[in-house]
Structure formats: structure tokens, C-alpha cells
A and B are shown apart, each in its own frame.
Chain A
Amino acid sequence: MELTGAEIVCESLLKEGADVIFGLPGGAVLPLYGALANYPKIRHILVRHEQAAAMAADGYARATGKAGVCVATSGPGATNLVTGIAAAQMDSVPMVAITGQVPRPYIGTDAFQETDVTGVTLPITKHNILVMKVEDVAQAIHDAFYIANSGRPGPVLVDIPRDVLLGAKTEFIWPETHKLPGYRIPGPADETEVIAAAALINQSQRPLIMAGHGMLISHAYSLMTEMAEKAQIPVITTLLGISSIASDHELNLGMSGMHGMAYANLAIDEADLIIGLGMRFDDRVTGRISAFAPNAKFVHVDIDASEIDKNVQTDIGVCGDLKSVMEQLLPKVEPNVHIDWLRHIQELKDQHPSHIVRQSEELLPQYVLQRLTEVTQGHGIVVTGVGQHQMWAAQHCLFREPNTFITSGGLGTMGFEVPAALGAQVGRPDTTVWSVCGDGGFQMTMCDIATAVESGADVKFAILNNKNLGMVHQLQDVFFEKDYMASEFSANPDFVKIAEAYGIRGIRVTKQEEVVDAVQQAMETAGPVIVDFMVKEDEIVFPFIPSGQSVNEMLEEPAHNGTS
């Protein structure tokens, strides 16, 4: 079969099972669009801004476990992808970004719309490839998917010059193998390390599991729950580990860290063993590292050897695929009851009930989420933006099934809520996707509501509208003497009218008693819906461990700090 470079890209995408791609065309990548017209099996979703293409690919990937694909033209198209690629890199999300490049003879001449995209994305991709020969296109796409999906997943960018896409017809040979001699994928761990880890677990009196994104990526959650139950070990989830254990499981202590549950943070402070599983002891989790889990030893399991001993010095580091390691570990962990430890944790929970929403006359954002999650009963997917609403969603939404909470953790990317939700909905069309939005973040990417409408992505947008950049406002409230410089909006648009302008339903909610009805109506309406919840404007996210501090400096909601 003799094909052009662009046709080879399409054939290769089909070989890789990429049936949905998100993109926006331009001159350098146009030959690819010319070929796509003849490949109806590849569904192209046209975005309004390339940032949305990358973030939709991200949401799609997180929801399905398959690499998400985004396409952009050279120069500004490619640079518009950058934020989305960086977010995928930070959160270990498999993504393949395909960019057009200026024709080979123009490379290095500052030609029109020339950007050194492999240079720009070098530190924010797992790998990137500039394809300089049409014969190399298939191998590049094949390698890109392999690298993106395997080991610790991540984004891979493939930059293809326009003349390579147009290239003279070349024999299409699908490479069955990869020539990547420097790339190894850890499998099961060294048995001696697992034995040592099990010994520490079996000896410990006050153990805690901390489960991260790796738990979901490697599908190790059932084994983890089994281990937790067998040895009665409480489980804390990082922001990205949420949904790796059912919210109502009696051993689930929820999220810890900066805005984590007070009792989870206090338990960490007293634990004698932290078992970090597929997580990376990020600063939002640890606070001041020297004061983190001061009484604990550390077992750390991760597929990325460079994460072990990076942030905390571990006692036993185990490098391997988490699911394989859990299979090795589970039989070696002895049954236990940890009666005193569990009783003590229950006391901490009773004294510091951070999960309880206080009574109020006003429409509290936490209250909205609590009602919403009651209506959905924890089914479906929740996607968030970044800020207060994200933390409240992490604290108050219920999750029953694994991998149903999608949020930009590592990069903390505002605007993620709109495109990532649409990508998740495209990937899991039978699932209800609720996008919990900030009014700030929503306005960063709301142009892509059009994309949701056009592609039939049935996303329900819940804007927690506090008329400000809430998280920034909160920091100013606490640390900058309430000097609200540049964090209040005086001219937010009418989001109900925005909905109507896009031809979809908009609902405004101003009172508590309207919440459940609005959520139900949104779910009963076919197609995207925007619900504008006019919430209390100056609410603070508690608990709150200020950046770089420890659990000793934790601020709790006045009613929750042990006296109630």
C-alpha cells in the first residue's frame, strides 16, 4: 500500500485504536486534515481553542485509560496545546499530541508560524519526536502510543513537517516492534524488597495506606481494598487517588494534605508506618517535609524509580507496576485488627468532623455538592476545575466506582473543567459527567461549550459561582489582610444566557431548596446543561494547612476543631 505521510498517520492511528481525536486545523497540518476526510472511522472533534483539544484528550484518557489524541497546527496552534500537555505530564496521563511543522527546508529559518515545538515541550512531555522522513512516520506514531501508555504514562508529542505529511507516496509498513533500547517498563518488583515491605507492614501498630493516581492507572484498587481489609489498615487517598476506594468504605479516611480531612492529617502525624502506593509525596500532600509523619517509617511503591527517595527518604522502596506488586504483597501481609489504632482514628473523626457541612441560611458551596452527590448517589464521573470548588468536590462528593474523579492535580490548571469534562463524556458516553466549575475557570474555556454541543457531549456543568477567584480570595483573606487585589469579578456574564446562546438549557439556583430540583432537571434534560449556583461569596475551604506548614498549624472550621 503506497501512502502519503498524512495517510500513514491515519492508518497508524487506526492501528493504535485511536478512534477519536480532538483538534483544530491550520496550514502546516492541513495535509493531515485532507487525509482524515477519507478516514471516517477516526472521529475528529473540532475544538474552539487548541488548549481544549489537549485537555479534552486528557479527560478522554483519564476516563477511558486509553491515550487521548490531540492535533494542532505549527506555531500558535502547537503552543496553545502547551498548558494541556504540561497538565498531562504532571498527572501521568497518556496522550499523543500531533503537530504540523513548517516544511523541512524552512526549519530553523524563523519561517511563518515556525516554533521549535519539540524544544518547547521537551521538559513537559514524557518524550517527543520530530519526524524528518516519511518512512519514519509509522514508527514514530507507534512508539508515541507505546511510550504514552506504558510504564508511568505521560504525553508524547509528534511533530511532523508539512512536506513530510504531503510526502511522496511511500510503502506503508506497520512496524511490529519498537527500537527503544533505553526504554524499560518495570513489571513485578524484586521479591526481597516486597518481603521487606511486608515485614514492616506486619510489625506496625499504626499503619496508614496512602493511595495515589497509580492505584487507578494500574487498576490495583481491588487488591488494595483487600489488603486494607485483611490487615485493617485505614486508607488515605491523595487528590488523584480519590475513587480508588469507595467513599463510604469504613476504612476510607478521605483525602489528606493542605485541604484534607483534619483526622486524616492527624492520623498521619501519629502513624508509625506510611505505605505510599502509586503516589509521589507531593508538597500539597506533605506540607513541610521535615514535619510530615514524624513518627513513621515509609514504604513506597511506585513504577517510577525516580519518585522513590525524591521527596521523602523511604525505609523500603519498591519499584514496580503497582498491580503486580500488590499481587506479590497481599499474600505476605498478615491478617490484623489494629483495634486501638482504629478506635483512636474514630475518636479523631468524632472530634474533628471535617466532612460535616455546617448548618447555614446561605447557599454554601459545600451544601450544593452534598446535595448533588446525593442525587447522583455517587454514580457517574465528576470533573473539576481548580480552586475552592475543586477542594470541596474532593471533600464532599461521593464515589462508588474507581476512576470517577477527574481533576488537574499536579499542574492545578484552571479551565480544565470544561474541555476535560467533554473529553471524558466522549470517552464514556453512557456515563453521566458532572463538571464542577469555578466561575473563574469556566470563563477560561467556556468557548468550548460549543464543542460540547456540537459533539453531543452530554456534560452537566455546575458552576459554583462565588463571583470571584475564590481560592485566591481565600489566600488574600488569610495572608494578605483581606486585600482582594484582582480577585473579584464585577462583570461576570449571565451564565444562564450563555447557556441559551449556545442553544442549551441554563438554570439559576439561589436558594438551598432549589438545589436538588435543579440537579434532577439537569439530569433529565438531554444534552449539556449549565446550572449556575449563586453560592456564598466569601466561604473558606477548611481544613487548611498553609503552604509549607505542618499539621500543627492546621486551621479548622471553627465548629470542627475538637470542641463541638
Chain B
Amino acid sequence: MAQINEIEQHTLIALVEDKPGVLNRVASMFRRRGFNIISLAVGNSEQAGLSRMTFVVNGDYRTVSQVAKQLDKLIDVLEVADISEARIVARELAMIKVSTTPMTRGEIIQIVNLFRANIIDVGGDSMIIEITGEGDKIDALYDLLSPFGITEMSRSGIVAMERGKSNGLTDGHKNNNVHSNGTGSS
């Protein structure tokens, strides 16, 4: 357990019913039990009527497994998996609006190219940069752009997926699934 306890950030994914109020139930559970969400992203999944949520949460192994079990207990949540220790790809999208002058524009473009980010809008005295990647990469770009004056930033939250051929959440994560059992699904 010792080395497991050292993991601070966990990535959980959940398959939930796409119904009104589900996000509220999930958020309310986190708030009520004092769990901290670092990042949350929700969107459609590959299955109709089901959404996929990706959470990044802070805590030791025991806390995070409590989070997963409490999530799983919600009636609208079909499946939860902690994929922190699996081989995963995790990506986040950010849009950063940075101030520009004729003097700084060239330097900013250079930085953007270095990061393989995109310029998606150019105005008279600002531009919007789009970057996709892991959180660290976005943070690094943010730091480099800061001196020019960042006027707005919007981040999507992390979405994550396990590498290799798995068939969605339902059969792909038997090992790190939080259900230890569950006969007779209804």
C-alpha cells in the first residue's frame, strides 16, 4: 500500500445516464463528502443515452477509492474506474487570449509553433491560441505567454482514455473496476 498511498492525483472515469440532474447529483456528492475535484469533463459517450465523465481528484488511495465507491452508489452511475495506474492518454484543451503588439507578435508565434499550438483568431491587439495536450504542457505555454499579458483563458478539463483495444468502459476495466461484485444487473 505504501507506494500506492503516494499517488496524489487520480483520474477516474464514469459512465452515467444522460438525464437531467445527473451532474447535480455527482457534484453534490463531491461537495457533501468534502472530496476535491481538480478537473471534471462531461460529454457524450460512444453509447446513446450515456455520458462519460472524466474526473481528476486529489487524495490518497483510500480517499479516492471512497470517491469511486460513492460515485458508483449513485443510481444514475453505471460504472466507475480508477485508471490512474493504467496506460492512459489524457488530454485537455485550452484557449488562451493574449495581448499582442506589432513588436511581440513574432515572438508569440514562435512560442506557439514550438508548442504545436494553433492560432485560431487574430485581432488588432490580441490573438486566441488553442492548445491541446496534457496539463503540464498547457501550464508551460501559459507561463511563457504570461509576460505578454493574458486577458482570458478557458480550459476544458481533462478527458482520458486507456490505451489499447478496450471496448468502452463496460468491458475495458475489469481489473481496476470498483465493483467487487454485482450479480443481477437490473
Contact = CB atoms under 8 A, between A and B. Distances in A.
Nearest to A317: B180
A306 B70 contact: yes
Contact of A181 (B32, B62, B78): B78
A429 interface: no
A147 interface: yes
B179 A184 contact: yes
B183 interface: yes
B21 A118 contact: yes
Interface in B128-186: 178-186
Interface string A117-153: 0110011001100100000000000000011000000
Given A185-B186, A190-B181, A310 B66 contact: yes
A492 to B, nearest CB: 38
Interface string B26-48: 00110010000000000000000
B69 interface: yes
B72 A305 contact: yes
Interface in A337-368: none
Contacts of B186: 146, 177-178, 180-181, 183-185
Contact of B17 (A130, A181, A306): A181
A11 B32 CA distance: 37
Contact of A182 (B17, B62, B180): B17
Interface string B66-78: 1001101111111
A427 interface: no
Of listed A304, A305, A317, residue having the most chain B CB within 10 A: A305
A183 B186 CA distance: 7
Contacts of A190: 180-181
Contacts, number: 75
Interface in B67-97: 69-70, 72-79
B181 A306 contact: no
A180 B75 CA distance: 7
A123 B32 contact: yes
Bin chain B's interface residue count: 20 to 34
A19 interface: no
Contacts of B69: 305-306
A320 B65 contact: no
A385 to B, nearest CB: 27
A310 B67 CA distance: 10
A186 interface: yes
B25 interface: yes
A309 B65 contact: yes
Nearest to A127: B75
Given A178-B186, A182-B74, A184-B185, 13 more contacts: A118-B21, A123-B28, A130-B21, A182-B75, A182-B76, A183-B75, A183-B186, A184-B183, A185-B186, A187-B181, A187-B184, A305-B179, A306-B73
| Closest CB pairs A-B (n = 4) | A306-B69, A184-B182, A187-B183, A182-B78
Interface of A: 118-119, 122-123, 126-127, 130, 146-147, 177-178, 180-190, 193, 304-306, 309-310, 313, 317, 319-320
Interface of B: 16-17, 21, 24-25, 28-29, 32, 62, 65-66, 69-70, 72-79, 178-186
21 contacts: A130-B21, A177-B186, A181-B78, A181-B185, A182-B75, A182-B76, A182-B77, A183-B75, A183-B185, A184-B184, A185-B182, A185-B183, A185-B184, A186-B183, A190-B181, A305-B72, A305-B178, A305-B179, A306-B70, A309-B66, A319-B180
